[in-house]
Amino acid sequence: MERHVFYISDRTGISAEILGRALLSQFVEQVKFIEKTIPFIDTVKKAEQFRQLIDETAEKSSLKPIIFDTVVSPDIRAIIRQSSGVVMDFFQTFIGPLEKELNTKSSFSVGRQHSIDRVGLYDGRITAVNFALNSDDGASMKYYDEAETILLGVSRCGKTPTSLYAAMQFGIKAANYPFVAEDMQNLQLPPELKKNKKKLYGLTINPPRLHEIRTERRPNSQYASLEQCRLEIRLVESLYRKEKIPFLNTTSKSIEEITTLVLTACNLERRSF
């Protein structure tokens, strides 16, 4: 069974996608969803065009399209509700109960609209993203004193995506330090890391998965060999244990999960933007 799904918003549509997909993930075994995001529906004219698109889609597929709607303006949402789609309306649903509980009117109700996405380009996030880039892969250890957490691990275990996500999503300054093949002879923490021991968090990964990832990068290399992957992981995990550094196996985890687990373990507060 196929079903058309639309994510719509007066801004980027990212919130509508995230919320809609969370719900649809509970139906993916039974239904194939054909998804489309339409951002910036911020005028009556664009809403009318969207309504027409919905009506046409409904007619073609003879099933009502499902619409996840995070548009703030009641005028625009009224037009969308007149379409042949089934509207899951986030504001409509929760604003009423919140107004009642907070005992006040929302700006939504009184016609002053706030954006629902996060704003501000050169703020803490960008500073944190630049920090992650500048301090990536041990590029410069002088950043470690400024870091809120320092991720350790062998090449391709997930350090860089995690530090970038921590910066972008939560404004956290995460540096990282890679253990490379040459370190394996006599594996130990460099003095710059010892000095910041409370910030250290280790990543590890199952050797067969690491072998797979490295093989994509450099096929048939010593670097990618299963033997080398096994050796590095064994030594690094034993260093984590010896030095009592908390660590996490990233093998079957998403970037979101790894980052959340690191922040929780390091007791770092998420920032919002």
**CB atoms inside a 10 Å sphere around CB 21:** 15
* Part of the chain binding a second copy (CB under 8 A), chosen from 50-58, 84-92, 177-185, 241-249: 84-92
Q: Which of 58, 213, 226, 231 binds a second copy (CB under 8 A)?
A: 213
Grouping H, G, I as helix, E, B as strand and the rest as coil, residue 89 is strand
The residues in 37-76 that bind a second copy, with binding defined as CB under 8 A, are 37, 39-40, 64, 66, 70, 72
Look at residues 153, 191, 190 and name the one whose alpha carbon lies nearest to residue 174. Answer: 153
Taking each continuous run of H as one helix and of E as one strand, the counts in the chain are 11, 8
Grouping H, G, I as helix, E, B as strand and the rest as coil, residue 38 is strand
Q: Which of 50, 90, 143, 179 binds a second copy (CB under 8 A)?
A: 90
Please say which residue, 30 or 220, places its beta carbon nearer to a second copy: 30
Task: Supply the minimum distance, in Å, between the C-beta of residue 100 and a second copy.
Answer: 9
- 66 forms beta bridges with 5, 86
Read off the tokens for 97: 């109960």
Please say which residue, 195 or 270, places its beta carbon nearer to a second copy: 270
Q: Which of 98, 181, 187, 265 binds a second copy (CB under 8 A)?
A: 98
Asked whether the beta carbons of 166 and 175 are under 8 A apart, the reply is no
Task: Supply the minimum distance, in Å, between the C-beta of residue 88 and a second copy.
Answer: 5
Q: Which residues of 169-200 are buried (b: 16+ CB within 10 A; e: fewer)?
A: bbbbbbbbbbbeeebeeeeebeeebeebeebb
* Part of the chain binding a second copy (CB under 8 A), chosen from 48-56, 86-94, 175-183, 224-232: 86-94
Q: Which of 2, 32, 120, 222 binds a second copy (CB under 8 A)?
A: 120
Number of residues located near a second copy, criterion CB under 8 A = 85
The residues in 235-254 that bind a second copy, with binding defined as CB under 8 A, are 250-254
Cα–Cα distances (Å) from 262 to 8, 86, 215, in that order, read 33, 39, 27
The residues in 131-160 that bind a second copy, with binding defined as CB under 8 A, are 133, 136, 158, 160
Task: Supply the minimum distance, in Å, between the C-beta of residue 22 and a second copy.
Answer: 4
